[in-house]
Amino acid sequence: MSTTDFASLRLKPELFSNLESLGYERMTPIQTLSLPPVLAGQDVIGQGKTGSGKTAAFGLGLLQKLDVKRFRIQTLVLCPTRELADQVAVEIRKLGRAMHNVKVLTLCGGAAIGPQIGSLEHGAHIIVGTPGRIEDHLRKGTLKLDDVDTLILDEADRMLEMGFQDSLEAIVAHIPASRQTLLFSATFAEDMQRIARRMMRDPVMVEVEASEEVSSIDQRFYKVGADVDRLTALKLLLQEIRPESALVFCTTKRDVDDVCQQLQRSNFSAMALHGDMEQRDRDRTLILFSNNSISVLVATDVAARGLDIDALDLVVNYHPARDTDTHIHRIGRTGRAGSQGLACTLFDESDAHKIARLALPGDPVKHPRPLPKLTLLDQKTPYPAMQTLQIDGGKKQKLRPGDIVGALTNGGEVSFEQIGKINVTDNSAYVAVHQNIAKVAQHKLSEGKLKGRSFRVRKL
């Protein structure tokens, strides 16, 4: 018997017979790696893409552990969106349909809370919900998590991206520390690592992509001079590549301001980032860039150091880095999961010694790539995919990401997929939405109610 067969696992007979009836025979890679430690009661971090089979991995684990005769909430599954929560609940019900009287209840925003309170009064074994609505029930005292022994964070990276970190921590405070915690995510950035350290106990790390080839970075070098100057070369590259997000590195603050202003005059969506900026302006710039509401961020190395900006489409070294470590740090920011990163470096005769010190293959100083044709400058500049709306209310006004998501999706004109990152600060909230529904979203937020109040909403 293969170790990838479900039959190799010690599952309840009713679970195994149901898997056979569903035609489930072999486990996916993430199931093969995560189910043994999950079934053993260990904390597990599972990193895998959507569609990798992670729902069945934690679904079988929680059902194997479930004591149906004990009519208490034993498992809490947190999801970033109502749609995902509904999908997860359906999958758990399907996996557990051969078990007698397993009650799964979904608690999500965008639905009336009254019927949910009524359902909770009748009890449940498994709760699947979104952080904002779970927090609502905890605050009202209509949900008790004292008997939860399994906590699952599904698509945890998306929850953090949407600004649910404070909600997650508030919810976890209501769950016994002796629980088993399972975290599933497509990525595992630094903010995810911080969450794991606080919420988990010696977790087993499962990464299904570990055996796959790591995406390399396509490095391109372009020589500039009298025929095509540095700024023109940058514009040509942005027009040819048309990145959704690009980070341009300059040596000095003055260069950053000059380059950014020139790009803006040519109708590129660009903003500057350097140490002389007010903290408020710096924070807003980073929010807009991370929300994909600005396509190009022009920055110094000092300003960009330590920023939580990853997986960029393009990095441009407007000026070459002074040393190899800085060069590697710059270009390492490009590339998305499963795709190749792209880093372009501009240099002239005076920069040749810097390029030579990088010890790159192919001798880019002697064999630079040709720049795109100048006719590209006649084309319309690319426009950002997202628009950020600013709400004049934040944490001090008790606003949470779940309130904003609920207000936008109520009525069906705006879907979860059209909502991007949400950032809530003390007195302001920022939400990114697709450009094509920005007017509708602004109207819904400004004309509707958030926490029973009206707030001013404007486009940035």
| Residue 1: predicted pLDDT | 46
| Residue 270: predicted pLDDT | 96
| Residue 305: predicted pLDDT | 56
The alpha carbon of 15 is separated from its chain's Cα centroid by a whole number of angstroms, namely 33
For tokens 């879907």, what's the residue?
A: 415
What is the sign of the dihedral through the CA atoms of 279, 283, 288 and 294? positive
User: Which of 237-251, 292-306, 418-432 is the most confident on average?
Assistant: 237-251
Task: Report how far residue 29's alpha carbon sits from residue 52's, in angstroms, rounded to the nearest whole number.
Answer: 8
pLDDT at 384 > cutoff 80: yes
Mean pLDDT of the 428-435 span? 93
Task: Report how far residue 106's alpha carbon sits from residue 124's, in angstroms, rounded to the nearest whole number.
Answer: 10
Q: Which residues pair with 249 in a beta bridge?
A: 299, 317
| Residue 307: predicted pLDDT | 57
DSSP H helices in 66-130: 82-95, 113-121
| Residue 361: predicted pLDDT | 66
Rounded to a whole number of angstroms, the CA Rg of the chain reads 25
Mean pLDDT of the 169-187 span? 90
pLDDT at 44 > cutoff 80: yes
H or E stretch at 280: helix 279-290
Backbone angles phi, psi at 210, to 5 degrees: -60, -30
The domains found in the chain, sorted by start residue, are 6-207 (3.40.50.300), 217-378 (3.40.50.300), 386-459 (3.30.70.330)
From residue 238, give the alpha-carbon distance in Å to each of 94, 121, 330.
48, 58, 18
- pLDDT tens for each residue of 184-225: 887 776 777 888 888 889 899 888 753 333 346 888 999 998
pLDDT band at 239 (very low <50, low <70, confident <90, very high): very high
Closest CA relative to residue 78, chosen from 138, 133, 37, 115: 133
| Residue 179: predicted pLDDT | 94
Please count the other Cβ atoms lying within 10 Å of the Cβ belonging to residue 400.
25
Helix (H, G, I), strand (E, B) or coil at 428: coil
Q: Write the Ramachandran bin of 398: left for phi over 0, alpha for psi from -120 to 50, otherwise beta.
A: left
Closest CA relative to residue 10, chosen from 66, 67, 56, 60: 60
| Residue 211: predicted pLDDT | 32
- pLDDT tens for each residue of 77-117: 999 877 788 889 989 999 998 888 899 999 988 778 899 99
| Residue 49: predicted pLDDT | 61
- pLDDT tens for each residue of 126-151: 999 999 999 999 999 999 999 999 99
**Mean of the per-residue pLDDT values for the chain?**
86
Helices then strands, each counted (H, E), the chain? 17, 17
Closest CA relative to residue 286, chosen from 245, 314, 251, 318: 245
| Residue 410: predicted pLDDT | 84
Say what percent of the chain tops pLDDT 70. 92
Task: Report how far residue 316's alpha carbon sits from residue 271's, in angstroms, rounded to the nearest whole number.
Answer: 15
Listed as own residue / partner, the contacts of 160-164 with beta carbons closer than 8 Å and 24 or more positions apart are 160/191, 160/192, 160/195, 161/80, 161/421, 162/80, 162/401, 162/405, 162/419, 162/421, 162/422, 163/401, 163/421, 163/422, 163/423, 163/424, 164/80, 164/131, 164/132, 164/401, 164/402
From residue 442, give the alpha-carbon distance in Å to each of 325, 385, 389, 396, 417.
44, 16, 7, 21, 16
HSE-up (13 A, CA, CB side) for residue 347: 22
From residue 435, give the alpha-carbon distance in Å to each of 332, 383, 438.
29, 9, 5
Q: Are the C-beta atoms of 451 and 135 separated by less than 8 Å?
A: no
Check residue 335 and report its DSSP letter.
-
pLDDT band at 19 (very low <50, low <70, confident <90, very high): confident
Least confident of 57-71, 305-319, 399-413: 305-319
Q: Write the Ramachandran bin of 207: left for phi over 0, alpha for psi from -120 to 50, otherwise beta.
A: beta
pLDDT at 52 > cutoff 70: no
H or E stretch at 166: helix 165-172
For tokens 């025979």, what's the residue?
A: 25
| Residue 210: predicted pLDDT | 35
Task: Report how far residue 24's alpha carbon sits from residue 20's, in angstroms, rounded to the nearest whole number.
Answer: 6
- pLDDT tens for each residue of 325-360: 678 778 877 865 456 789 999 999 888 888 887 767
- pLDDT tens for each residue of 440-457: 999 889 888 888 888 999
Closest CA relative to residue 111, chosen from 90, 88, 137: 137
